[in-house]
Every structure is written in structure tokens, then in C-alpha cells.
A and B are shown apart, each in its own frame.
Chain A
Amino acid sequence: MREGSGEGLSANAAPFNLPSPDPSRQREGREIEMHIRPEPAERHTLAVIVDNEPGILARIAGLFTARGYNIESLTVSEITHDKAVSRITIVTSASPPVMEQIMAQLDRLVPVHKVVDLTVEGEHVERELALVKVAGVGEKRIEAMRLAEVYRGRVVDATTSSFVFEVTGSFQKIDKFVELMGEVGLVEVARTGIVAIARGRDAA
């Protein structure tokens, strides 16, 4: 029987007629290819207020990987004098049902005080800071300096053949600035990731 003829099952023959399974699910000998379908997603910025205990960042980041959620940006820092509470800003993209799950799953973690979806709660401000190192001499060096002025970058380090610019703004602005620097001697970039806060007088 291990050869698998399927016989021997006839002893189990049904004594009555009943709805049979959907035949489209069983295709003898035909190969039906399967493809992974991507899900539509929209971008959300979350503020997660947590107890600042060891492992909290791994707990949150790990939740995202374990459940297959995206992280586009994640920043964290202590926000109280006693360093007991941290604020984590997460930028993720997900479909609305997955977004609802992300919120619920984060909220379920024991050390989490509060989870706020800034994108749906109302208007908010997002900022990112980048340090951008550019090397070059002559015309390229002058052009880098000019562009930095346009982008309100500050020079925080300089040698005769290089600059480090500090530039702050939306992630789109920083993307654009870094792209431009690529043409005038970009060496490396360090970015903080996005922090965000709700507009108006109330806490999120």
C-alpha cells in the first residue's frame, strides 16, 4: 500500500450521495503555477510610547519581522528626565487591515504605554537629520557648497578637500539633497531616521 495506489480506501465508500468538493481544486496531473501576490500598502507614521526596559527595541523590531510587517524607518530615544520612558517613531507601509493589526499587536506588548497612528490622527510634522560627507576640489567643491546653501545645510566639518553638511527636513528633501550630492563628490551619508509629532497643542 505504501506505493500509494489509493486502493484500500474503497472500504470507506460512502453509503450516501453528498455535495462533493470543488473539482477545480483537484487537477489530476496538471501543473498550475502559483505566484506570490503583493498587497497594496500605504505609508503610516506611528508613535509608540514605551517603558524604557532592556530589550524593548528588539521586542518591537522583532514583532515587525515575526509578523511580516515592513519597517521603513525606526527611531528611538528617551523622552523623560528619569529616562524611564522612550518614544519610538516607526514608519511602516501596510494595507488598512494589516495596519489595524500592527496597532493592536504593538498595543498588546507588556511595556507599551500607548500607540498612536500619526497619519490617521490628524496633521503632523516629520523631520529627519542627515550628515552628508562630500569630497572634491575646484568647481565641484563650490557647487556642493552652493547646493548646501539652497537646502539650508550647515557645514559641521571641513577640510581643504571635503565637507560634512548637516541637513534637516522631510525625508524627501534629504533624499533629493543626497541625490544631488552624488554628482558633486558624495562620500557617505548618515541619517537619523524619521521623528514625528502631531501638530497643535495636544499630545498625541
Chain B
Amino acid sequence: MTEQSGADILVEALCDLGVEIVFGYPGGAVLPIYDALFRSGRIKHILVRHEQAATHAAEGYARSTGRPGVVLVTSGPGATNAVTGITDALLDSIPMVVITGQVPTALIGTDAFQEADTVGITRHCTKHNYLVKDPAKLGAVIHEAFHIATSGRPGPVVVDIPKDVQVATAKYVRPGPIQHKTYRPQVKADPKAIETVVDMLAAAERPVLYTGGGIINAGPAASQLLRELVRLTGAPVTSTLMGLGAYPASGPLWLGMLGMHGTYEANMAMNEADLVIAVGSRFDDRVTGRLDAFSPNSRKVHIDIDRSSVNKNVRVDLAVIADAGHALEDMVRVWKSRQHPRPDLGDWMRRIEGWRAVRCLDFPEVGPDIMPQRAVRALWEATHARDPIITTEVGQHQMWAAQHFGFELPNKWLTSGGLGTMGYGLPAAIGAQLGNPNALVIDIAGEASIQMNIQELATAGQYRLPVKVFILNNEYMGMVRQWQELTYSSRYAESYSESLPDFVKLAEAYGWKGIRIETRDQLDAGIADMLAYDGPVMVDCRVSKLTNCFPMIPSGAAHTDMILQANEVSGEMDDEAKALV
């Protein structure tokens, strides 16, 4: 076997790993890799316009396809620009491998041109990272990086490759199945624990399944198993933001999302439950609200692949360390083998129906203004038959999309949950469209967030990706303004979106179609125009400017302290409340 350059080894390893698309941006320290990609011609490279967008596009690709996203950026600013997306992938457990160029090994530590301590900077925002100093080890490291990124609790892995290591030669041997010395995630649950959970579920009078992104990460089969388990047990289901779509929004036992902007019925059910089974969710502060008032009368089971998630925020009665899919499969099997009948949860369901009757997501509509909730519902009406992939930015529009767009399937809802990264939606939509060329992909955006990665309009144009961007334009950083209204007596410090561009002209300048919707009677036609156009479209949908997103549990409040409508709240909060995020 002849030796080949580190760059060629990298490309060959990526091909061996089945990588078809790389999102990246060239620069001095990755030129050998770009040349190897050029010569190989086997991997499609998507040229983004900013490295942060490469990472979000890779996340969108990963979340919508279940395959790892791959990013290639240069040293220094290339790597530091990628840090936000890497952190985003860590918080949302998205499998991603980021290849960064580095200055030659002899220059490391000399403050060389475009040098940054990439492994130092990314050490705590990756699942793992590597600095490769020997091309002979590069192939094995790349394979190990993919193994770590995709197995266990998925996450981002950075591989930093100095330029001389890309040029120097070595032999590449394709490694066999990886048996890591120390990293062995537990995917199968302790059978006794599964039996205990099943018995608890069979005996519960007021059970709730509290599902999360872990079920999406476990693959589409896990969502099917969840539906099967719900059918068998009759237990109602709520989900975190990241888990939407695992159980269908049209399902009879769907409670809606829980937490800060969750439904009344979901949060009240959590509060009154006698058994909460968390599957692939992590008791995040957006979900729990005030910890000492969180689901006070329930026994709690936590099924998670990451042991450090257990007892981190909420103490549980039983921990089941396993992949969500395996655990659900085992639960379904044990439930059936024990021949448990479907429990009679009539009283519990009647109480839930009572909470449902509050119709917490209803909203008033007066005059010609478009309520943002109406816009999301109209979008759902017009598109749901096509099973669209929805991405979002971060803020009020994100919560309205989560509340009002019903998701029936996993991998159709891509949003920045843990990190809450404005600017996520457009590049994520680009990544999702590349992974799903025939899908309808829509970024439900806000006029402030969309500007954080607006340059990616060019990327979609270059690759002729027919993504749609639907901006709920209320001329405010709406969630910031909402908090200022609730917490700071409506002192709107810097939350007005001053000097907005003309989004229609902006779209046209990038070769997109631009559409403006200003009144309610234009809504359906505007959406139809968007869908009829066989290319990228940006819709500037002007919505009611001061509408707030409800229901809302104020930060640090209990589930029962939910604000359902705007007139229930005003004024100033105390310092304890102000200190909460």
C-alpha cells in the first residue's frame, strides 16, 4: 500500500464513513483538504457564507436525516465562528463532526497568522475533540470521531488538523469495528428496571409520558415504539420542544408541549400526575419551572442514555440508563408478555379534558391585523398534507410554531432548543433541504433572528434549494420585549427592530422571490403564492406587533402559576425573579 497525504486520508476516511455532503468554507489552513476534495470529486461540498451557518446547516441535515452532519472550516476565525453551532449541537445532542484546519505543528503556540487554540476553545463545547499531529493516526481518529459523535448521547466532535499533517504522507488502513478503550455507552437497560417501570405504569392512576429529543435521536423506530406504548397503556403524552413529532399532534392522547410556553393541559397534568416517565428528556429549567413545585405528587422515572442527566435538576425514583428506542422496545415487549390490560384511566382523562376545555392556545382576533398564531395555523393548513420540515429561529415565533404547527412525524421539526441560537433556522433549512431534496422545507422566522444569518440566502441560491423563509415580522425582538413588559414595566430597552430592511427587495437582490403579506385577507393567498413558486421564497408576513406568547410560566414559577392571557400580568418582578433566565 502506498502512502498518501493526510488530506487524502481524511477524504478517503470520510468516503468510507458514507459522508456525502460537507458544509464548509475554505481558508489557508485547509487548502490541502480542499484540493483533496476537488481531486476526489466524491463528496459534495456546500459553500456557506459564514462558518456558523455551516454548523447549523450540518445540524439541520443531521436532525432531518438521522445521519451525522459534517463541517469543514479553516483555522482561527473559521474555527471560532463555528463555536456557536458546535455549542448548539452539544446542547441539543446533534451528531456532528467538525474538521478544522490548524497552523502547521511547528507554528502552534507562536500566535501565528489565523492561529487559535481550537482544541482549547472547543474542549467544553464538544462531546470530544482531537488535535491530530501524525497523519498515520488521522484515519483512525476520523473513524473514532464519527463513532463518538453518533453513538450514545450524540454530540459534536472536533478534529483539528495542522496544515503540515494534511500534507505529510502515511498509510491509511480502514479500521474495523471500533472497540473504544474507555467510551462504552450503555444502550440496553437493566431488564429489572424495565420490569419495574412497566409495573409502575400498569399500576398508575394518573400517568404522564414526558418525552424529549432523545426519542428523535433514537431514530424513527423509537417514535413508532412510543406510539405503540401509548396505545397499549393509554398514558397521555407531553413533549419537550426537542421531542415534538415523536408522538403525533393529532393523536388522542397528545397533551401538547409542556414547560414555559407549554399547554395548560400538559403542565396541569404534570402537576397532578402520580407517575411521570421521562424518556429522552432532561428536566430542563424551561420544562420544570420552580423545582420545588414541579410535579409534586408523582413518582418519577427517568429513561436516558446519559447518566449525568439523571438527578441533575430533579431527583427521580428510578433511573433507567438506556437508548430511548431500546428502552421503549423493552417496555412494549414486557407489557405485552405480562398481558397487562389497558388500564382504566377514565377519571384521569376526564380531568385532562377539563384542562383541555380551557383552550389555552386560543387567541383573540380583532381587525385586519394578522395574529402570529393565525399565520402559523394558516401555514399548517396549507402545508401539513406535504409533511413539511419546519425550522425556526429563536424567540416568540419559535414558540408559536411549536404551539400551533402540529407535528405528526419525527425529524420534521428542527429548532435550537438548549442554546436558543438566533440565526439557526435559515442554515438549518438549507441543510435539511440538501438531506431531503424533495421535501418542503420552511423556516418560520422572526425579523430579528433572520438577520443573524441572512447571508445564507446566497447559499440557497447557489445550490438552487427551494427553501421557504416565512418571517413573522412584528418589528420587535418579541420575546425580549415580552419579558421587558412582564418584568421591567414595559421599558423596552433596545428590543425594537430599528432600520429593518425591505425583506422583499432583499430577497430579490439575492435572486429569491419576495412576498409581503400585510393583512389577514392576504394570508392564504400569500402562502399559496409561496408554495406555488418552484424556488426559494422569503415571505415578509406583517403580524400584530405587541402580541405576547401565552401560555407562559414566568421563570422560576410553578406549573400552576401559568399566565394564560396578557391581562393577568404587568409591572415589575422582584429581584429573585429578575435573576432567573
Contact = CB atoms under 8 A, between A and B. Distances in A.
B573 to A, nearest CB: 5
B546 interface: yes
A128 B364 CA distance: 70
A6 B579 contact: no
A55 B569 contact: no
Nearest to B360: A18
B339 interface: no
Given A12-B566, A51-B181, A104 B120 contact: no
B91 interface: no
Interface string B559-581: 01111111111111111111100
B492 interface: yes
Nearest to A34: B575
Given A18-B564, A25-B554, A12 B548 contact: yes
Given A9-B548, A26-B572, A19 B562 contact: yes
A13 B565 contact: yes
A27 B546 CA distance: 23
A3 B363 CA distance: 25
B575 A32 contact: yes
A112 B358 CA distance: 51
Contact of B127 (A2, A3, A32, A110): A110
A94 B147 CA distance: 34
Contacts of A83: none
A108 B127 CA distance: 9
B456 interface: no
B182 A14 contact: no
B567 A26 contact: no
A66 B124 contact: yes
Nearest to A55: B119
A22 B572 contact: no
B176 to A, nearest CB: 20
A62 to B, nearest CB: 6
Nearest to B157: A110
Contacts, number: 140
A131 B227 CA distance: 66
A2 B428 CA distance: 33
Nearest to B495: A2
B483 interface: no
Given A26-B572, A112-B182, A9 B358 contact: no
A170 interface: no
Nearest to B579: A34
Interface residues of B, number: 61
Contact of B120 (A2, A31, A58, A97): A58
B574 A25 contact: yes
B490 A4 contact: yes
Contacts of A20: 563, 568
B123 interface: yes
Contact of B561 (A25, A31, A58, A110): A25
B44 interface: no
Given A1-B546, A4-B490, A110-B148, A13 B567 contact: yes
Chain A interface main SS type: loop
Nearest to B133: A54
Contacts of A161: none
Nearest to B572: A28
| Size class of the A contact interface (CB-based, 8 Å) | 35 or more
Nearest to B576: A34
B545 A1 contact: yes
B308 A4 contact: no
A126 B299 CA distance: 40
A158 to B, nearest CB: 40
Contact of A97 (B128, B311, B568, B569): B311
Given A25-B557, A107-B308, A111-B182, A97 B315 contact: yes
B565 A26 contact: no
Contacts of B128: 110
Nearest to B182: A113
Contacts of A8: 546
A176 interface: no
B166 to A, nearest CB: 19
Looking at A14, A16, A33, A55, the one whose CB has the most chain B CB atoms below 10 A away is A14
B566 A16 contact: no
Contact of B307 (A28, A33, A55, A108): A108
A159 interface: no
A97 B127 CA distance: 23
B455 interface: no
Nearest to A33: B575
Interface in A1-50: 1-6, 8-16, 18-22, 25-34, 50
Nearest to A104: B308
A2 B496 contact: yes
Contact of B576 (A3, A12, A28, A32): A32
Interface string B528-564: 0000000000000000111110100010111011111
Interface in A101-120: 101, 104-105, 107-108, 110-113
A173 interface: no
B546 A28 contact: no
B28 to A, nearest CB: 24
A14 B564 contact: yes
Given A6-B570, A25-B577, A101 B312 contact: yes
A148 B548 CA distance: 72
A197 interface: no
A204 interface: no
Interface string B120-148: 10011001100100000000000000001
Given A1-B546, A14-B566, A105-B308, 20 more contacts: A2-B496, A3-B490, A4-B484, A4-B491, A5-B490, A6-B485, A11-B544, A12-B548, A12-B550, A13-B364, A18-B358, A21-B561, A26-B574, A29-B571, A32-B574, A97-B315, A104-B310, A104-B312, A108-B306, A110-B127
7 contacts: A9-B566, A11-B544, A25-B554, A27-B573, A33-B575, A58-B123, A110-B182
Closest 8 CB pairs of A and B: A4-B490, A14-B565, A104-B308, A34-B575, A32-B574, A12-B566, A9-B566, A110-B128
Interface of A: 1-6, 8-16, 18-22, 25-34, 50-51, 54-55, 58-59, 62-63, 66, 97, 100-101, 104-105, 107-108, 110-113
